[in-house]
Amino acid sequence: MSGSFSVFARELKLAWSGGGGAALPVGFFAAAASMTPFAVGNEIGNLQIAGPGVMWIALALASLLPMERLFQADLEDGTLDAYAGSGVGMEGIALAKTLAHWIATGIPLAFIAPILWIMLQGPPEQVLFVIGAALVGSLAFFFFGSIGAALAAGLRRGGLVIALVTLPLYVPTMIFGAAALYAAAGGGDWGQPALLAGAVSLFGIATSPFAAAMALRMAID
C-alpha cells in the first residue's frame, strides 16, 4: 500500500518537474478548440451547434497526448522492472500513475474548458457544470487511455497505436458527455447523460488498472 502511495506522490512531482507537465496538453486543447470557428464559421448559431461537441473531442484528444509517455519512460529506464521485482502489485502502480497524471494534466484541462466554452458561445452561467463535466470526462479518457498506454509502452511509435486502440473505448464518454454539454448549453436537463457519463468513468477507474497491469507485465516480460 505504501508502495502505490509513494509512487503516486512521486509521479505527481515528476509530472510537474522538467517539461511543464500539463502545459503541452492544455496548449493543444486550447489550440484545437480554437480551430472550430475557422472550420464552421464565426456565426454565433454555428458555434452554438458545433462548439460543445468540438470541445469535447478536443478534450479527448488532449487526454490522449500524455498517454504515450505514461508508462514508456518507466519501462525504458528500468523503473518498471524495479517496481515489478519488488513485489508491489502492478495494478496499484497503474492506478497510482494514471491518477497522478490525471491530477497533473486532467484537472488543468478541466479548468481551461470553461474559457473555451465561453469563446465558443456557450452560456456563461453553465461554467461550473462545464468544469464538472470535463473532470468526469477526462477521468474516463485517462483511465481508458491507460490501457492503450500500457499496451503500447514498448513500442517506438506507440502514440498512433494508442489512439487506434483507445478511441473506440471513448465512445460512451463521448456520447454521454457531449449530450450533457448540449443539454446544458440549450438549458435542458443534463442530469441523465451526466450520470451515465459518471458511471462510465467509474467503470473505467475500476477496471482499467487491471487491464493495464496485465499489459505492463507483458511489456516487461
Partner 1 sequence: MSGAGASSLALEVENLAAARGLRVLFEGLAFRVSAGESLELRGANGSGKSTLLRILAGLTRPHEGRVRYSGAGPGDSEEAAQHYLGHLDAVKPTETALEQARFWARYFARPQDVADAAIKRVGLANRKSVPGRGLSAGQKRRLALTRLLIEPRPVWLLDEPTAALDTEGRTLVMQLVAEHRAGGGIVIAAVHGEGFANSRILDLSTLKAAA
Partner 2 sequence: MAVLSYLANPYRFMAVSKWFALPFTLLGVGLILIGAYFGLFVVPEDFQQGDSARIMFVHVPAMWLSLFAYAFMTGASIVSFIWRHTLADVAAKSAAPIGAAVTALGLMTGSIWGYPTWGTWWEWGDARLVSVLVLFFIYLGYMAIWQAMDTPQKAARAAAILCLVGAVNLPIIQFSVEWFSTLHQVKMKAADEFKYPMYVVALGYFSLFGGLTLFNMRAEVMNTRAEMLMQRRQAAE
Task: List residues near partner 1 by CB under 8 A.
Answer: 2-3, 6-7, 9-10, 13-14, 17-18, 76-79, 81-82, 84-88, 220-221
Q: Are 116 and 29 in contact (CB under 8 A)?
A: yes
State how far the Cα of 48 lies from the Cα of 42, in Å rounded to an integer. 10
Binding site partner of 48, from partner 2, partner 1, none, Cβ cut-off 5-8 A by kind: none
> Coil, strand or helix: which one is 18?
coil
Rg (CA), the chain: 18
**Nearer to partner 2 by C-beta: 18 or 168?**
168
Binding site partner of 200, from partner 1, partner 2, none, Cβ cut-off 5-8 A by kind: partner 2
Binding site partner of 196, from partner 1, partner 2, none, Cβ cut-off 5-8 A by kind: partner 2
Binding site partner of 180, from partner 2, partner 1, none, Cβ cut-off 5-8 A by kind: none
> Coil, strand or helix: which one is 54?
helix
Q: Which residues bind partner 2 (CB under 8 A)?
A: 147, 151-152, 154-155, 157-158, 161, 164-165, 167-169, 171-172, 175-176, 179, 196, 200, 203, 207, 211, 214-215, 218-219, 221
Cα distances from 139 to residues 65, 95, 162, in angstroms, run 14, 12, 17
DSSP 160-172: HHHHHHHHHHHHH
